[in-house]
Amino acid sequence: MRIHEKSRLLVAAAALVLLGLLCAAPVAAAFLPLATSKGATLAGVLREPRQWRLFLTTAAVALGAAGVATLLGAPAGYFLGRMPARPRRLLAGLLAAPLLIPPYVTAVAWVDALGRAGMLNRLLTSWDAVPSLVRPYGLAATIMVIALSYFPVVAFAVLVGVRRLDGRWEEAALLSETGPRTLSRIVLPLVLPYLALGAGAVFLLALLSFSVPLLLQTPVYTVEIYTRFTSFYEPAQAVGHALPLALFLLPLPLVWRWSLRRQNRFATASAGRPPLQSGAHLAVLGTAYCLCLAGVATGVPLAVLAVRAWPPDSFVEVWQTARNAMATTLLLAALTATAGVAIAFFAARSLGARARHVALPVALLPFIFSGPVLGLGLIRLWNHAGLPALVYDGFAILVIACLGRYCVFAYAGARAALDHLHPRLEEAAAVHGAGFLRRSMGIVLPAAAPAMAALWGLLFVLAMAELDTAVLVTPPGWTPLPVRIFTLMHYGPSRLVAALCLTTAAFILAAAGIAVLAYTKTRKLIAGAS
Amino acid sequence: MQVDVKNLSKRYGSVVALSSATFTAEQGTMTVVRGPSASGKTTLLRCIAGLEIPDAGTVSLGGVCVSGNGVWVPPVRRGLGMVFQDHALWPHLSVRGHFDFVLRAARLPKRQRAARIERLLELLELTDCPRSLPHALSGGQQQRVGIGRALATEPPVLLLDEPFSNLDARLRGRILAELNRRRETAGTVVIVATHDAEELQQNGNTEFRIGTQIP
């Protein structure tokens, strides 16, 4: 329902201004020096002999991580899709953990385990026949750490695909074919759109990954942008590297479109009905596989960090030295989540069809040009004397950075949630004289409360783990935990770093747990009310 | 190949879907399983096909027990053809692709596959849409693809679950004639589940009534 109300128009204008200020303005500010150099800087950047190496390494990291994540995640998704509800929920929760734990925490753990003095390295080299085969640094390590962090994206995409399959398609094939061939010729082609979507998402996340390549010393575009700016103060050359990075993004919309088309074509009313063949043996095999995967991706890194952080005095030391960082992180996450959900809700509620087409790409800009570019843009935009300095020198710049980077998720999520609401809900209120704001707060927000709670949790977790932009704009006295970990990692892994990493992971997992609970409770409440 | 069903029972939780079904379908005969909706016709066919594991009773094909008494032979090794009530067409395969899939599974040489596909397309009047995907076909065409898929490998036992509901009288007659030809020449056992068996009764087929509501 779109009624031309004054209050709606005002809210829409405010939402557009905020989106512009948070997302478009910093990106424009970042690219301004490049634009003013009339192509000379970009040509210089592209002619650098390092370009090929950067291009190939970035491609290898993104493709390698997407490939390994697909190999790990696709079977997990298939097994989960074929399991009864209760074990599926439990295992899905376990498999979601690697996605929640920031990749740099996993990287720190693997460096700690496989470094020269690392416990796994010592174990490997203690057998004379086995030399130290695994290096904790370099391309292969970067690919593995990113893949171990993001494989759940593929697993959950495949899970959705498998759950949407009609079991009879498999049964019809099983009358004439064996299980493996049915899997390869019927199930795989039908799940492929979801698999491609998941793999594409991992490709994007790996492409934009900054902290892991930096910690594991792999030269990729995001690291080059950061280094050019912080070490040489060459802002134009730094953002010049964001353009070849953007080239990698070009095929993604095509994958997205192809996938959605195929999903719609395969949509069926009787989805979710599993075939007979999903028997007990598959459940046992699937459970074992998922537990192994969760163990390697979450259990081992956390165990390594726990051993390193031993004795418990480390956590007392963390409390004494980093309690301000903890408070900053929690405050930053809470403010980002609250402001982000509010902006996203009102933007999704108020923007008309034409403005919507603009709002999503604008919100996407800071994310797809990577965290360091956003940080650079924020510095150029706010690092001025007068009023901007008040923002730049204080805690607000961190909130602005997190909002700019992640509001695309909040906006897209809010839009999807509101599009799913039945229009009659609001029409009934409008007929009885409720204005735009009253309808928004009294009817639409309560009806969309579960989705908004989930979005709040998502933003909270993302802001808690935020490093890529925060590392450039953190003001004195307001250091969040991830930036503190990053700073301490310059001196190598240590007891304190391990304890800080565990504390960050514990905060994030607890926040995610609370968000899931809030989502479930609000959904039950809404279901009960209706 | 004779099909023997003895005391076959199946429950889903507390719901009894099939209770002590017993019948024999001789080689070269057509058995019509009659009964109202939810009387267990589909469950019976699915148990024979191996898509459900019965709680009690046995299914034997050609005198060999394939289900029951601690035995369960997977569907692929039973060598049956089945038409599903709602077709169960694979959305990513064309009409030709459906026939090709099952013929490849039967390890038929390429030339024979092509010849058989052409015959099926002609028999089922699908020659104008061999490359169409299921979503582009009408309900009747989808049903014919489902029937063609079941007929393609010329299996010794054909299970048909409400196979004619979307077809006009002329096509129904044509497909019935093909089924009769197969049971007479190749000894195919045809088991048809339907709630409306008038047309099939006229052919003098064996009838097996299922469910308690039938007078």
What are the residue boundaries of the structural domains of chain A, listed by start? 52-204+217-224+260-309
List, for residues B150-160, the tens digit of each pLDDT value: 999 889 999 99
Q: Which residues of A touch B91 (CB under 8 A)?
A: 169, 190, 265-266, 268
**Quick one: pLDDT at residue A385?**
86
ipTM score of the complex?
0.71
Nearest beta carbon to residue B76 from set A166, A177, A268: A177
**Is residue B191 pLDDT above 70, yes or no?**
yes
Using DSSP, state whether A287 is helix, strand or coil. helix
Give the CB-side neighbour count of residue A353, counting CA atoms within 13 A: 3
CA angle B96, A162, B165 (to 5 degrees): 50
Rounded Cα gap, residues A293 and A74, in angstroms: 12
**pTM of the shown model:** 0.82
End-to-end CA distance of chain A: 21
Q: Is B76 in CB contact (< 8 Å) with chain A?
A: yes
Q: Is B5 in CB contact (< 8 Å) with chain A?
A: no
**Is residue B128 pLDDT above 80, yes or no?**
yes
Looking at residue B138, its amino acid is S
Q: Using the beta-carbon criterion (under 8 Å), do A169 and B106 form an inter-chain contact? A: no
Q: For an interface test with A, which of B48, B61, B78, B92 has the most A Cβ atoms less than 10 Å from its Cβ?
A: B92
The token pair at B76 is 């692929």
Q: Using the beta-carbon criterion (under 8 Å), do A172 and B74 form an inter-chain contact? A: no
Looking at residue A273, its amino acid is R
Q: Using the beta-carbon criterion (under 8 Å), do A270 and B82 form an inter-chain contact? A: no
Q: Using the beta-carbon criterion (under 8 Å), do B53 and A276 form an inter-chain contact? A: yes
Query: What DSSP state is assigned to residue A137?
Result: S
By the 8 A CB rule, do A208 and A369 touch? no
Neighbours of A260 (CB within 10 A): 12
Q: Is B149 in CB contact (< 8 Å) with chain A?
A: yes
Nearest beta carbon to residue B102 from set A176, A190, A262: A176
Q: Using the beta-carbon criterion (under 8 Å), do A173 and B80 form an inter-chain contact? A: no
Please name the residues in contact with A469: beta carbons below 8 A apart, sequence gap of 6 or more: A371, A372, A374, A375, A378, A401, A402, A404, A405
List, for residues B92-126, the tens digit of each pLDDT value: 889 999 999 888 888 889 999 999 999 999 988 89
By the 8 A CB rule, do A131 and A52 touch? no
Which stretches of chain A sit within 8 Å of chain B by CB?
166, 168-169, 171-178, 181, 185-186, 189-190, 262, 265-266, 268, 270, 275-276
What angle, 0 to 180 degrees and rounded to 10, lies between the N-to-C axes of helices A481-488 and A449-465? 30
**Quick one: pLDDT at residue A153?**
96
What is the CATH class of A52-204+217-224+260-309? mainly alpha
- The whole-chain average pLDDT of chain A stands at 87
Average pLDDT (B43-58) is 89
**Quick one: pLDDT at residue A528?**
56
Q: Which of residues 15-44 of B touch A (CB under 8 A)?
A: none
**Quick one: pLDDT at residue A272?**
57
Rounded Cα gap, residues B172 and B178, in angstroms: 10
Q: What is the DSSP string of B170-202?
A: HHHHHHHHHHHHHHHHT--EEEEEES--HHHHT
**Is residue B213 pLDDT above 50, yes or no?**
no
Computed on alpha carbons and rounded to an integer, the radius of gyration of chain B in Å comes to: 17
Q: For an interface test with A, which of B76, B78, B83, B84 has the most A Cβ atoms less than 10 Å from its Cβ?
A: B76
| Phi, psi angle pair for B12, to nearest 5° | -115, 100
Alpha helix (H) residue ranges in A101-178: 103-114, 119-126, 139-163, 167-174
**Quick one: pLDDT at residue A155?**
96
**Quick one: pLDDT at residue A389?**
85
Rounded Cα gap, residues A148 and A102, in angstroms: 11
Residue ranges of chain A with pLDDT lower than 50?
1, 530
Q: Which residue has the higher pLDDT, B69 or A415?
A: A415
Using DSSP, state whether A486 is helix, strand or coil. helix
Q: Is the dihedral of CA B177, B182, B185, B189 positive or negative?
A: negative
Q: Which residue has the higher pLDDT, B148 or A263?
A: B148
List, for residues A139-149, the tens digit of each pLDDT value: 999 999 999 99
